[in-house]
Structure 1
Amino acid sequence: MSKQFWHRAASYQESVLIVDLVDDRFFLRRFEDGTGHTISAEYAKAKKYWSKDKSDVLRFSDEKFKNFWSEGFEKLSKLVESSANIQLLVNCVYFLPTAPDGINGAQQTQMMNKYLENRYDLFRSRFGDDALIEYPDTLLATDAGHKWGLAPYHYSEDAYRHFVEQVRQRI
């Protein structure tokens, strides 16, 4: 929440930056100074530290969110492209329906997956296929026994193993 990443990143040495867009499902609190916070369960627990500054609450489908995301993508791209020390990896997971309807249903997961696919295509066009960690269709599955419960983004142990193996191979 201190927003020190941009200041510190230039001094990173032999770093791997992993981008995982699964949290784009959360609302985003955007402040007038151009910063933002993802409104996650963890963020809610830190409410006493929240800024009292004026802010907007945005969803990933909002135009303001898309513009803010694009600004961040350009800033990240410039950082990675100008640094020989930062390797970027993008975890390309998709949501899987876990309920007949509602937030975990097919319609909502399809909408989120369309959003994710668009974002992954942007990363691919900027950084190439080597930056993307992709999953065989048969490997990406949810886990009803996941420690945080069944959800469209709580994957099987095999999916997590695949991710770890891909990171190991690339670094």
Structure 2
Amino acid sequence: MLKVSIFGSCVSADAVYGTGIVQLDNYLARSSLGSQVTLPSVREDIIEQIGSPFQRRIVRADMEKALWDMIRGNAFDLLLMDFIDDRFNLLLDKDGSIHTLSNEYASGLRKVEGDWDRERVIPSYSNQKWELWKQGWAKLLDVMSDTGNIGKLVVNQVWYASRDSSGNVLPKAPFEVENGYLRKQYDHILETRPDVRFLTYEPVTLVADTEHKWGISPFHYVPALYEATIRQITMR
């Protein structure tokens, strides 16, 4: 069975999990390459305030910069990446480290510190975060190459959906900022590593599912998209 590790979001995990065709080896969510490229720093006081074991695990992985050890462990056949979770801001912590300001992290942080100084926030689509993300991508290529895993890298090229499966326009559509940032990321990937494998989708699949188990969202897609993901990653 094909073993897949994921650095990304539910977009990739929902396609892989429970299929019986692909084994989900590891899943690092709610994290940006812009965070992973910075120095590790674990805030146990924040993690202790997070109720869900899964949420605690993903926040810890972001703090530990666990992506690099996961790659060096070389336990996967494919590393599937998507960049939907780059919608989150980053936060400069008081010790100088940088963490992804996911909902889970923010919830724990508020219980420890209350509200934080807005000057510590690195906004999602800012130039500062973009420069950190590019550094993270460069390090990813280096680590994948050094460990002999560069041929296992797959980018899940999804886009924010503007409509749902009933034909309704989603709130805040057409998501020009979000999709513009994704386009910039995909273009940079192709410029720096033209041979990276991309998963691509027909527009008819890039639609939000009104019956999705996580609710309606511009990145909670109809089943046809996840089926296309599996078809593509299992192609020989």
Q: Give the shorter-chain TM-score range.
A: 0.7 to 0.9
Q: Which residue, out of 157, 174, 183, partners 1:92? A: 157
Listed one character per residue, the Cα deviations across residues 136-167 of structure 1 (whole Å, up to 9, x for unaligned) are 22222111111121111111111011112212
For 2:68 and 2:112, the matched residues in 1 are separated by 20
Does residue 59 of the first structure (1) align with residue 123 of the second (2)? yes
Paired position in structure 1 for 2:173: 105
Q: What runs of 5+ residues in structure 2 fail to find an aligned partner?
A: 1-59
Identity of aligned residues (%): 28
**Conserved 8 A contact 1:124-1:131:** no
TM-score normalized with structure 2 length: 0.59
Structure 2: how far apart are the matches of 1:96 and 1:25?
14
Is 1:22–2:84 an aligned residue pair? yes
* Structure 2 equivalent of residue 78 of structure 1: 142
One-letter amino acid of the structure 1 residue matched with residue 135 of structure 2: E
CA deviation profile, 1:65-104 (whole Å, cap 9, x unmatched): 11111111111111122232351111100012257686x3
Of 83-92 and 109-118, more deviation after overlay is shown by: 83-92
Which has the larger displacement, 38-47 or 71-80?
38-47
Question: Counterpart of 1:118 in structure 2: which amino acid?
Answer: K
Distance change (3 Å), C-alpha of 1:125 and 1:70: same
Residue 169 of structure 1 is matched in structure 2 by 235
Partners of 1:26 and 1:70 in 2: how far apart?
Answer: 16
- The C-alpha deviation readout for 1:7-59, integer Å capped at 9, x for no partner, is 453242454221110111122224477753323334345548989xx982222
Taking a change above 3 Å as real, the CA distance of residues 48 and 169 of structure 1, as seen in their structure-2 partners, is farther
**What RMSD over aligned residues (CA atoms) do the two structures have, in Å?**
3.0
Cα separation, 1, equivalents of 2:70 and 2:128: 27
Query: Which residue is 2:33 aligned to?
Result: none
* Aligned residues of 1:17 and 1:89 also touching (Cα < 8 A): yes
Structure-2 change in CA distance of 1:144 and 1:14 (3 Å): closer
Q: Between Structure 1 and Structure 2, how many residues are aligned? A: 166
Q: Are residues 43 and 166 of structure 1, via their aligned partners in 2, closer, same or farther at CA, if it must alter by over 3 Å?
A: farther
Please list every run of 5 or more consecutive structure 1 residues that lacks an aligned counterpart in the other structure: none
Residue 156 of structure 1 corresponds to 222
